[in-house]
Structure 1
Amino acid sequence: MQRMTIGRPADKLGARPFAFQALVVCMMLASFWSWSAPAQAREDFKTFLENLWPEARDKYGVSRQTFDKVVKSLKPDLSLPDLEIPGRQKTQVRQSEFTSEPSDYIDAAYLARLANTGQRLASEHKAALDRIEQEFGVDRYSVLAIFGRETAFGAYTPKYDAITVLATQAWTGRRKEMFRDEFLYALKLLEKGVPRNKMRASWAGAMGLTQFMPSEFFAHVHDMGGDGYADLFDSVPDALASAARQLKNKGWQRGQTWGYEVAIPETSDCSLEGPPGLRPLREWVALGYRRTGGREFPDAMLNENAYLMSPAGAHGPSFLALENFQVIRRYNTSDLYATFVGNLADRIAGGGDFHTRWEAIGPQRTALIRGIQQGLKDRGYGIETVDGFIGSNTRRQVGRYQKDNGLRVDCWPSDAVLNHLQKTSG
């Protein structure tokens, strides 16, 4: 196999395996649009691919032989989610990070099982992890936690052919331009000698033990073996080093943890959540914020900036999130994802469960969230995008609205909030 040398930077998609419910819906829709699609549609797909040839050759260094080998036999997979097909209702995939009930996503039993495996791998790959920490400044526990969250330490095997996925999404997906580039990078991987049968992917094209998009193979991979080939499919050391390099490239702070679980004092509440409230830890201490479990903040960290983050509003743990929490979010842009990874890293290092209980508050409902976001936006609250996703800004604005209207402040988009918005509209 031709050796692959990796180099230049690219941005992260952050697409991951989606919620089971979304899969069921998409499979049902696929039954109405499968390989009985009109011949003209398939011809359009071939034309689309052929029109990519000049750029594949000139910008990505793909040979005609490699290009033809892929294009001649390629057919779109119209069963994929997130496609825009005439006559089919548009659907947007909701990842589990944005659909699950927080208490289900942050599953203590699953975290405990992963932590046990992570501790074993920490011992098994100690030499590689020593080198990773020294070279990239990313602690071994966080790197292992990324590996655990992404593919359950390699137990999860993506079911899709990456080339088919990326070509289909580039042709008729909701985010065509991004997938167009990723498809061309995938062709470049083939040109570099990566076997196509290794390129098993999620529905959005993420591959390997730590789920990299094709562009990221040219931005962040690292060859631990020194043989000129960084193998993210079968080499745990290469995958861990590449994840560490990506975290470093996204701003990882050496020697810093991700955040601290805290108790919010009675003089404060969750409406202070989010990056706009960023301030040094010592100022949070002055406001009465304390670490849970009777622990103190390390003196060396008191000048570090942090913001309040409550991924379930007042219905679960709250944290003072440091810069490395934001870096984990750049790997996958979800507060629940970053909280999962952070806690898994703590557990692998010998820590335990959260001190505050995650309450059962039900799944995240897109229509409800959109309605609340629109209502808040209409009233001048700081909602820029009505997207149905719960992030720190949505929780912050919900909390502000609740305070302004004498409601119980829990910072969570609920039926009660929507009902109040509707009753007071106009």
Structure 2
Amino acid sequence: MRAVQVFLVGLIATLPASAGQAGCGGTFSAFLDGVRAEALAAGHPPAQVAAFLADARQNPQVLRADRAQGVFRKHFIDFSRAVISQNRLTNGAANARRHAVIFDRITQDYGVPRGILLAFWALETDFGAVQGDFNTRDALLTLAHDCRRPDLFRPQVMAALRLHHRGDFDTATTGAWAGEIGQVQMLPADILKSGVDGDGDGHVRLKPSAPDALMSGAKMLAGLGWRRDQPWLQEVVVPDTLDWRLTGLGRDRPIADWEQMGVRARTGTLAPGLAGAILLPMGRKGPAFLAYPNFGVLFDWNKSFVYVTTAAYFATRLEGAPPFDPRSPVPGLSPDQMTTLQQKLAARGHDMGKFDGILGARTRAAVQTEQERLGLPADGWPDAALLAAL
């Protein structure tokens, strides 16, 4: 998958909030003057600031990409089958062997399994082959100037300037439309906080160096709370008699409780002594998974439910799990129907944010609440019956 097609990734490091200092909007030249003043006030040498901002320009294609994120309108089965190919599985195994020494270091230092990093490496940039062709500096400046999320992107501009000052960011650097850089697509603030010189050349450069990218991604996940030697996702078989109201993100229960209700691992056994939530990405008649605490950490890498679930499942495949059982899910809604559903849910008092036609975590939670109210199986999967009932 092209990196420019995915949602924002990475955790914003703790940096000074900047939107209030220099603002957003207005003419782009005046905005750059504000950035320049902020950088100088922060102590950056004038020559360095001038070099960083030389020839900076607004990129309208970045704004178009930001407003056109529609890839996650696909449901889990279609999306996962589109992005998890046999070629990617084969290349994943080959890269695991090629970088075995690095993965061994990662396991020892950070406790992050190679399957997780291989999955994100594949989905973000196809193992480094497609890293994006947007000028990173200009993309960050464009998004910081745009007044939708200045508090998110203005610190990234300052972080890129700091990377530039230490010789780890060239103003010609290209990447995703949202400013992510390198083979695992990290934002500049993430690189400042979690960047690792994996190849020992004295620099942290995530574009050319797979060791730098993999080590940095692992350090970031560890910093987000990844639990060493614990699973993240496991396919399960659920009984038809399960109380569907108990399923979904945030409804974690001890594994022993799920086993008493008849939930069992499709292969192997469930992890004893842990807790987890039952995920039904396409409802009670579709594939079923048990999400352990590590699964939640992945949402700090990417906020999309279907992307994170797919990446987590892909990681299990790269670690040897079999393909999931698709079963026979009830047909879902089209994007237009999903948008209508979101409007109806908002009219009933649910906080839906924008009506984007995407079945994200917020929409699923509202769906489950309305299913329960209407006496429908509360599995969080909207169908034509729910739409009609609303």
If the length of structure 2 is used for normalisation, what is the TM-score?
A: 0.85
Note if contact 1:315-1:410 (Cα within 8 Å) is conserved in structure 2.
Answer: no
- Within 2, Cα distance between the matches of 1:360 and 1:176? 41
| Residue 31 of structure 2 corresponds to residue 48 of structure 1 | yes
The one-letter code sitting in structure 1 at the alignment partner of 2:67 is: Q
CA, structure 1 residues 414+66, in 2 after alignment: closer, same or farther (shift >3 Å)?
Answer: farther
1:17 aligns with 2:17: no
State the distance in 1 between where 2:158 and 2:34 align.
12
Show the counterpart of 2:388: 419
Letter of the 1:311 partner, please give it.
Answer: P
What residue in structure 2 maps to residue 92 of structure 1? 67
Asked if 2 retains the 8 angstrom alpha-carbon contact of 1:208 and 1:232, the reply is yes
Match of 2:195 in 1: 221
**Kindly tell me: are residues 364 and 244 of structure 1, through their superposed partners in 2, closer, same or farther at Cα, counting changes over 3 Å?**
farther
Q: Are positions 1:71 and 2:53 aligned together?
A: yes
Matched, 1:333 2:303: yes
Alignment of 1:1-400 (within 5 A): 17-18=4-5, 44-59=27-42, 61-81=43-63, 92-96=67-71, 98-107=72-81, 110-196=84-170, 199-293=173-267, 295-297=268-270, 301-314=271-284, 316-357=286-327, 359=329, 361=331, 365=335, 368-376=337-345, 378-379=347-348, 383-388=350-355, 389-400=358-369
SS in 2 for 1:262: strand
Which whole-Å CA distance do the structure 1 matches of 2:229 and 2:99 have between them?
20
In structure 2, relative to structure 1, the CA distance for the partners of 1:276 and 1:194 (3 Å cut) is: closer
**Which residue number in structure 1 is paired with residue 14 of structure 2?**
none
d(CA) in 2 for partners of 1:416, 1:385? 20
Distance 1:185 1:195, change over 3 A: closer
Give the deviation of 1:116 after TM superposition: 1.0
CA distance in 1, matches of 2:132, 2:330: 30
- Cα deviation per residue 1:75-114 (whole Å; 9 max; x = unaligned)? 211232359xxxxxxx833352x32232221017734321
**Paired AA for residue 116 in structure 1:** T
SS in 2 for 1:103: helix
Q: Which amino acid aligns with 2:363?
A: T
Q: 1:198 to 1:407 in 2, by over 3 A?
A: same
Deviates more, 1:198-207 or 1:127-136: 198-207
CA displacement at 1:358 relative to structure 2:
7.2
Structure 2 SS opposite 1:142: helix
Does structure 1 retain, via aligned residues, the 8 Å contact 2:92–2:318? yes
Shift in Å, 1:174: 2.2
Q: Which amino acid aligns with 2:181?
A: M
Q: Decide whether the 8 Å contact of 1:368 with 1:413 is kept in 2.
A: no
Structure 2 contact 287–326 (Cα < 8 Å) conserved: yes
Q: Which residue of 1 aligns with 2:18?
A: none
Alpha carbons of structure 1 residues 16 and 123: separation in structure 2 relative to 1, 3 Å? closer
Could you tell me which residue of structure 2 aligns to residue 424 of structure 1? none
For 2:344 and 2:53, locate their aligned partners in 1 and report how far apart those are by CA, in whole Å: 48
Alignment correspondent of 1:36: none
Q: Does structure 2 retain, via aligned residues, the 8 Å contact 1:270–1:313?
A: no
Percentage of matched positions with identical amino acids? 30
Distance 1:269 1:318, change over 3 A: farther
Pairwise CA distance, 1:318: 1.6
- Partner of 2:282, secondary structure, is strand
Inter-partner Cα distance in structure 2 for 1:349 and 1:231: 27
- Which stretches in structure 1 are left out of the alignment for 5+ residues? 1-14, 20-41, 84-90, 422-426
Deviations 1:155-193 (CA, angstroms, capped at 9, x unpaired):
213010011111111112521221111112112222221
Q: 1:174 to 1:358 in 2, by over 3 A?
A: farther
Matched-pair contact (CA < 8 Å) for 1:313–1:412: yes
Following superposition, the deviation at residue 154 of structure 1 comes to 0.8
Q: Distance in 1 between matches of 2:377 and 2:249?
A: 23
How far off its partner does 1:239 sit? Answer: 0.7
**Structure 1 residue 238, shift from structure 2 partner:** 1.2
Distance 1:72 1:154, change over 3 A: closer
| Secondary structure in 2 matching 1:320 | strand
Which has the larger displacement, 277-286 or 314-323?
A: 314-323
Cα displacement (A) at 1:127: 1.1
**How many residues are treated as equivalent by the alignment?**
369
